Amino acid sequence: MLTDISRAWLDSALRDAADRTPVWEERFVTAGRHCGPADADEARTLLLRAAGAEPDTLTRLYHHGTTAERRAVLLALPALVTGPESVPLVEDALRTHDTTLIAAALGPYAATHLPPHAWRHGLLKCLFTGVPVSAVAGLAERAAGDPELARMLADHAAERTAAGRPVPADLSRVLALTVPAEES
């Protein structure tokens, strides 16, 4: 919950963003200092939405941003980008080992636009890094009746078992989602 001081700063920043003044990008960068880390994601995504940031701006902010700024860009994608042009940002985040970026990358934008192969690997990355699959938007819909995902999950479980490592608890939940409707 934003404090009164944070709310006043954010209201001013949102006016700048709505007016599309260059100041809004500076406020995007400094949001963590003004609103605190707990509210920075919300403040930054609100700024991006108020500015109507376009894919080129989002890409620039993502590539030049800190992890927190990148996460905010990923979280704002569903509200700002209607097509697949920002998929490379999601794919980049999925190549990291930062669990906050991985979780943000597999939000609603990825559920709609990420190709099946990349989405499956993103889901496996969640299992491998310990990101709860509850963070994956559209999980049930994307996993439903997906035999390739079922094979990948079974292979992952077999590799973990053979290495004497625990199988992630979420794996069986996701595997159950891959069963075709007529078999469940």
Please give the pLDDT value at position 12.
Answer: 75
pLDDT single digits (tens) 19-44:
665 688 888 999 999 889 899 999 99
Backbone Cα Rg of the chain: 19
pLDDT single digits (tens) 69-94:
999 999 999 999 999 999 999 999 99
Of 183, 174, 126, 133, which Cα lies nearest the Cα of 153? 174
Question: What integer best gives the mean pLDDT of the chain?
Answer: 92
The stretch 4-19 carries a mean pLDDT of 72
pTM for this predicted structure: 0.86
Distance CA(23)–CA(30), nearest Å, equals: 11
- Asked if 101 and 67 touch (Cβ cutoff 8 Å), the reply is yes
- Asked if 38 and 2 touch (Cβ cutoff 8 Å), the reply is no
